Structure 1
Amino acid sequence: MSNSPAKVLLNPPFRAEHVGSLIRPKPLFDKRCELEKGKCSLDDLKEAESDAVKHVVELQRSLGIKSITDGEVKKASFYDGVFEKLDGMVFMPARPINEFKRYLPHIAMLYAAGVPSDATFYCNGKIKRTKPFYVEEFKAIKSVVPPEEVKNIKINMCPPSWWHHRHGSDLAYNLNVYKNDDEFFDDLGVAYRAEFRELYELGCRNIQLDDPTFAFFCYEPTVSGMREAGVDPEKLLDTYIRSINVCTQGRPSDLRVGLHMCRGNYKGLHFCEGGYDPIAEKVFVGLDVDTLYLEFDDERSGSFDPLKYIPLNKMVVLGLVTSKNPKLERMDVLKRRVDEAATAMSTDNPLRSKVTALNQLCISPQCGFASVWQGNPITEEEEKKKLALIVETAKQIWSDLG
């Protein structure tokens, strides 16, 4: 495994982070609305997207956010950019709803609404990366930051399990192409590793996988639904841990890979709830990543107790500030909660003092502000206030440590 205590000390994430997506600037938002109405083409978006990248990069830099993303402004949804570019994956604009797993909360909503079909991807051939995922996006960010800040750029991408979880091992891929999940995810891993290498060669040192899949295993109705459908939740969880690890294996020692566990963030709505207790020991220890971005913005996220399973060689970014509504959190509450998290990590652990635990922590919003292009019910000014609060809170907490 490439995770080591030395790596964490040499290459820590910034104490104040934002998870990735940002509210679309109005010109781009308006242009997207035109696209939805058929009044322009995707090509017509390009100028507005380029301007938006410059805008959100400057927004982050002006607020003191050091890890720079493009706000994912070129995406319609957070999961865009990978599977539509892979050989072997075919787009299905209207797959029958009975071929989606009903135990998933977001799919159950479609069933309840009587939706007959939904768009998806299906693997009908050997997976191969013949074109890059986010290389052009990285180049675009790189062109608008000073050379010394290129190392701070973060690229967000969807996880390898994103479409698999909707259909399961029986309907995600053609069984004449792949006999089992290991074969399927092995080829996906080759594709992701090639993307990581190309991004690294261009100067990328920070990649974040945005993965709602793991949170489903914390939600009892979903786990019960899996069992009723004849799916072994523990075996499937092992499969999804492995799906990440085959992507991250063999990465350069100075390439930091993080994983964000999301509970859903569709226009300010969540899909599931429940603390990390059911998965913490297996997932926090077993994932071959450097950083875990965990949501703790409200009571549905559970307690900090599962943080006791965080290994000494991993960082944790606490998602304490909600991106779902404009209410501004109080700094004293945020500082207290960071202290509580450090206490949970260090209690009854002779290998980790509270100071050590604090040095493994960072803070951020619980998720992006716009997982889909329409965004959450929050304005850019409200978004800026939340990010500024995170930066100032981080300064006060970690400057106090000396």
Structure 2
Amino acid sequence: MSKSPAKLHPPFRAEHVGSLIRPRPLFDKRCELEEGKCTVEDLKEVENDAVKHVVELQRSLGIRSITDGEVKKASFYDGVFEKLDGMVFMPERPIHEFKRYLPHIALLYAAGKPSDATFYCNGKIRRTKPFYVEEFKAIKRVVPPEEVKNIKINMCPPSWWHHRHGSDLAYDRNVYSNDDEFFDDLGAAYRAEFAELYELGCRNIQLDDPTFAFFCYEPTLSGMREAGVDPEKLLDTYIRSINVCTKDRPTDLRIGLHMCRGNYKGLHFCEGGYDAIAEKVFTGLDVDTLYLEFDDERSGSFDPLKFVPLNKMVVLGLVTSKNPKLENIEDLKRRVDEAATAMSSGDSIRSKEVALNQLCLSPQCGFASVWQGNPVTEEDEKKKLALIVETAKQIWGSDSD
């Protein structure tokens, strides 16, 4: 465990994870796109209006970490791999080339789907065009200059397509002979993106990573072993994949990682607490902030928090984004207290007060990881975000760092 909090970058006490319900005009236009009644170009003006809308929504509620709600994406993982040289889109890859031990892939098998869309690496990976530079500029245009430093950009993890196909089918072996070579070039592309965003004023980036939660889910682990995959070795690979992206970053660039258990129209894909991975992942990841889901019984206990180093913040996802039921503020305060207690247990160098200072509050996941959203309305979303802000104020005295 780290002994020094020197690199601690506290995020705002009240956060939201990233994606927000699409405003109705954008939702309707997306429906038109799906029906072939408009083009992607037709979306742009509606998307820009939606960015203004969700930015004002966040600011009006007191959320100081501002995103564009990912409203310009169809899904949370859009915007990276389709822009990389060396990655090719495959609209119909045979289903037998997907790893059946993954719960979301198992559903495709069960549904009898013969194929699914994916990406494949058939050449050297290079970043020749930006991922989210234009998205950052769009948010920057609609916030006051003094708030530019509060803008947060969300992006999918480097392992997103790799995990679907594994080390044997994710890339051409004539291009990369092993995972390290593949992720080294992918990491260089991410670092170049981080650097360009930083030059524009970005100081907060969040990687939304569902892959780590699979290593907490026993059916997936047993499926890996049956398929001849070593879960511990693959876990090490995915930790390294993050670290090659985040290395050598500026000291004032905050990188967070959200460990998601799946969020598709309000549905999750896996269960299990962080116990199985906590020590290795919490200490081994070179990130400043861990966004962790603790919204219901499938999330496990707070006990794994004792492995969080002193130089990392934890954003507790205690408010569910999957249904409209509004949480109780006293329950939230009690659970934050329980988390601080667990975080300081068995650790003589961290008091409960220190632990509490390492905690923040958020929804467990975004409200719309895909454009169709979760079974909540914008009004439900606003009530939950307002509750988070008020709870943070009552616990820490402020929603800011």
Q: Same fold (TM over 0.5)?
A: yes
Q: Secondary structure at the match of 1:318?
A: strand
Residue 7 of structure 1: how far off its partner (Å): 2.7
8 Å CA contact 2:16–2:363 kept in 1: the answer is yes
- Amino acid of the residue matched to residue 256 of structure 1? R
Residue 12 of structure 1, CA deviation:
1.2
Q: Indicate yes or no: 2:89 matched with 1:96.
A: no
CA shift digits 1:195-219 (9 cap, x unpaired)? 0000000000000000000000000
Instruction: Give 1:339's aligned amino acid.
Output: D
**Corresponding position of 1:230:** 228
| 3-state SS, counterpart of residue 6 of structure 1 | coil
State the match for 1:6 in structure 2: 6
Q: Would you say the 8 A contact 2:3–2:309 is kept in 1?
A: no
What is the one-letter code of the residue matched to 1:7?
Answer: K
Contact 1:3 1:290 in 2 (8 A): no
TM-superposed deviation, 1:4: 6.0
Q: Which amino acid aligns with 1:66?
A: R
Per the alignment, residue 72 of structure 1 pairs with: 70
| Paired residue secondary structure (1:257) | strand
Whether the 8 Å contact between 1:294 and 1:319 is mirrored in structure 2 is yes
Distance in 1, Cα, partners of 2:3 & 2:252 = 10
Residue 157 (structure 2) aligned to one of 147, 156, 159: 159
Is the Cα contact below 8 Å between 1:3 and 1:289 reproduced in 2? no
CA–CA separation in structure 2 for the residues paired with 1:176 and 1:3: 44
The CA deviation at 1:399 is: 1.6
Q: What is the identity, as a one-letter code, of the residue corresponding to 1:159?
A: P
Q: C-alpha displacement at 1:3, in angstroms?
A: 11
Which of 357, 364, 383 is the aligned partner of 1:359?
357
Matched with 2:103 is: 105
Partner of residue 42, structure 2: 44
Residue type at the aligned position of 1:399:
G
Structure 1 counterpart SS, 2:180: helix
Q: Quick check: 1:205–1:256 contact (8 Å CA) kept in 2?
A: yes
**Aligned equivalent of 1:20:** 18
Structure 2 residue 136 is the aligned partner of structure 1 residue 138:
yes
Whole-Å separation in 1 of the counterparts to 2:306 and 2:10:
20
Q: Indicate the residue corresponding to 1:179 in structure 2.
A: 177
Query: What percentage of aligned pairs have identical amino acids?
Result: 88
Return the letter of the residue paired with 1:334. L
Q: Which secondary structure does the structure 2 equivalent of 1:70 belong to?
A: coil
From 271, 274, 280, give the equivalent of 1:273: 271
Asked if the contact 2:392–2:398 (Cα under 8 Å) also holds between the matched residues in 1, the reply is: no
Paired residue for 1:386? 384
1:231-281 CA-partner distances (Å, limit 9, x unpaired) = 000000000000000000000000000000000000000000000000000
1:31 aligns with 2:25: no
Q: Secondary structure at 1:7's aligned position in 2? A: coil
Q: Tell me the equivalent position of 2:112.
A: 114
Query: Secondary structure in 2 aligned to 1:65?
Result: coil
Q: 1:285 to 1:44 in 2, by over 3 A?
A: same
Instruction: Quote the Cα distance in structure 1 between the aligned partners of 2:101 and 2:179.
Output: 19
- The aligned residue for residue 296 of structure 1 is 294
Q: Give SS of 2:174's match.
A: coil
DSSP-derived class of the 2:258 partner: strand
Q: Secondary structure at 1:121's aligned position in 2?
A: strand
SS of equivalent to 2:275: coil
Query: 1: CA distance between counterparts of 2:71 and 2:214?
Result: 27
1:190 and 2:205 correspond = no
Give the Å deviation of 1:347. 1.4
How far does residue 326 in structure 1 lie from its aligned partner after superposition? Answer: 0.1
For 2:6 and 2:304, the matched residues in 1 are separated by 24
> Residue in 2 aligned with 1:398?
396
CA change 1:4–1:255 in 2 (3 A) is farther
- 1:400 deviation in Å? 9.1
* Structure 2 Cα separation of the partners of residues 348 and 324 of structure 1: 34
For the residue of structure 2 that corresponds to 1:292, the secondary structure is strand
User: Are residues 27 and 232 of structure 1, via their aligned partners in 2, closer, same or farther at CA, if it must alter by over 3 Å?
Assistant: same
Residues 284-363 of structure 1: pairs in structure 2 closer than 5 A: 284-363=282-361
Answer yes or no: is the 8 Å Cα contact 1:3–1:288 preserved in 2.
no
User: For residues 283-324 of structure 1, what are the alpha-carbon distances to aligned partners after superposition, in whole Å with 9 as ceiling and x for unaligned?
Assistant: 000000000000000000000000000000000000000000
4+ aligned runs moved over 6 Å, structure 1: none
Structure 1: which amino acid aligns with 2:213? A
Give 2:246's aligned residue: 248
Distance 2:11 2:71 in 1: 22
Q: CA separation in 2, counterparts of 1:167 and 1:263?
A: 19
Q: TM-score, normalised by structure 1?
A: 0.98
Q: Conserved in 2, the CA contact under 8 Å of 1:87 and 1:125?
A: yes
State the shift of 1:6 in Å.
Answer: 2.2
Displacement after TM superposition at 1:348 (Å): 1.9
State the TM-score, normalized to the length of structure 2: 0.98
